[in-house]
Structure 1
């Protein structure tokens, strides 16, 4: 997996970014997730848990 930072918008001299986690297609298939699925997340210490809503 890879964490990417993408420029969302620039207002004046201020840049606003969004973060994207790229999940390999085989993991998406393994989980049975489909495009547009609602996901929820929880963070604990240094971990991020993402699951289908």
Structure 2
């Protein structure tokens, strides 16, 4: 399945910056970055479940 992930994480504090890096890393493990906060992912049902759990 093809999924598009777009996110917006507040980075006004250290916790927000850490959360932004964690989300970006999880998305990069399963897809390709097309913009700063947008990823295209081609995953099967099992991979989608794993990615969703990480997010």
Q: TM-score when scaled to structure 2? A: 0.22
Q: Which has the higher contact order (CA 8 A, sep 6+)?
A: 2
Larger helix share, 1 or 2: 2
Q: Which has the larger radius of gyration?
A: 1
TM-score (norm 1): 0.22
Q: Which has the higher strand share?
A: 1
